[in-house]
């Protein structure tokens, strides 16, 4: 298949599904993954798509979040590492909040293989599907307006429901984390849900991989005063370590 034909096929797939994976396109078009990466780079220069690790997506004008099915393929190993670290903080009897991030989805997948007797509160449809048949986990799913790009429930009704719960531990992620500012998100509605979880929880864990440090998006979730522990996959810079120490935040890496 000629390059022009491949590019048209990639764009057709993008229009149909909103995102594409390098591995899938390589098999579908019978070319190497490196060729697909070059094709995606060409289309990105033409502003037809946005590349991410493992694929690309068609960003919407207002909602620039990477689609959840594509995010699940990104930094899989790092998410597994962080999820295992989170699991050490969860005990029988806990009520925990999990946001709609794919990092929280990794935590849920690990919880599903345990015999922990806990309550899980989440606004994620994917987490509901992972934990729905667990025998000893009480599952509370927060309803609201469905956001397709993240498979999550958002909005004022979701916030109001969360405000009725007293949570022991909340595990949230973010699109970015800025020094002296706090965690930030692409979506205003998603940031408000995460902030509500933080406000209702006694102990809060911010779970972010190394790429989120020193990266800022438009919507502030909360400042660092409501976060007790940072869990990440790599040792952050000296500046970040000193910042966490001076603000009495536990750092796990």
Q: For residue range 100-143, list pLDDT tens digits in order.
A: 999 999 999 999 999 999 999 999 999 999 999 999 999 999 99
> Class for domain 3-59, per CATH?
mainly alpha
- The CA-based dihedral angle spanning residues 243, 246, 252, 253, taken in that order and rounded to the nearest 10 degrees: 40
- List beta partners, residue 251: 230
In this predicted model, what pLDDT tens digit does every residue of 192-203 receive, in sequence order? 999 999 999 999
Give span(s): CATH 1.10.10.10, the chain.
3-59
Q: In the prediction, which pLDDT does 63 show?
A: 53
Pairing of the two strands 250-252 and 229-231: parallel
Angle at 194 between CA 192 and CA 195, to 5 degrees: 65
Q: What are phi and psi of 225, to 5 degrees?
A: -65, -25
Q: In the prediction, which pLDDT does 177 show?
A: 96
**173 three-state secondary structure:** coil
- The CA-based dihedral angle spanning residues 134, 138, 142, 148, taken in that order and rounded to the nearest 10 degrees: -10
Mean pLDDT for 205-229 is: 94
Q: In the prediction, which pLDDT does 70 show?
A: 58
Q: Read off the tokens for 17.
A: 């599904």
Mean pLDDT for 151-164 is: 97
In this predicted model, what pLDDT tens digit does every residue of 28-73 receive, in sequence order? 899 999 999 999 999 988 888 888 777 888 876 445 565 555 565 5
- Show the beta-strand stretches assigned E in 142-190: 145-147, 152-154, 167-172, 176-178, 182-185
What's the DSSP call for residue 215?
Answer: B
Give span(s): CATH 3.40.50.1360, the chain.
76-252
Q: In the prediction, which pLDDT does 73 show?
A: 56
Q: In the prediction, which pLDDT does 194 show?
A: 98
Q: What are phi and psi of 148, to 5 degrees?
A: -65, -40
Domain covering 76-252: architecture: 3-Layer(aba) Sandwich (3.40)
């Amino acid at each position: 298949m000629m390059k022009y034909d491949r590019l048209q096929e990639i764009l057709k797939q993008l229009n149909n599904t909103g995102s594409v994976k390098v591995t899938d396109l390589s098999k579908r078009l019978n070319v190497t993954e490196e060729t697909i990466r070059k094709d995606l780079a060409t289309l990105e220069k033409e502003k037809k798509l946005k590349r991410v690790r493992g694929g690309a997506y068609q960003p919407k004008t207002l909602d620039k979040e990477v689609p959840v099915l594509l995010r699940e393929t990104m930094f899989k190993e790092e998410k597994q590492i962080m999820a295992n670290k989170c699991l050490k903080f969860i005990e029988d009897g806990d009520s925990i909040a999990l946001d709609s991030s794919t990092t929280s989805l990794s935590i849920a997948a690990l919880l599903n293989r345990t015999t922990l007797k806990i309550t899980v509160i989440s606004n994620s449809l994917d987490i509901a599907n992972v934990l729905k048949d667990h025998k000893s986990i009480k599952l509370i799913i927060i309803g609201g307006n469905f956001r397709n790009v993240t498979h999550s429930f958002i909005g004022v009704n979701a916030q109001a429901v969360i405000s009725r719960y007293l949570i022991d531990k909340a595990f949230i992620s973010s699109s970015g984390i800025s020094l002296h500012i706090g965690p930030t998100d692409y979506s205003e509605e998603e940031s408000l849900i995460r902030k509500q979880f933080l406000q209702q929880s006694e102990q809060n864990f911010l779970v972010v991989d190394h790429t989120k440090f020193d990266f800022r998006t438009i919507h502030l979730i909360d400042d660092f005063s409501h976060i007790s522990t940072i869990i990440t996959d790599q040792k952050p810079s000296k500046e970040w370590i000193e910042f966490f120490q001076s603000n009495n935040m536990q750092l796990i890496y």
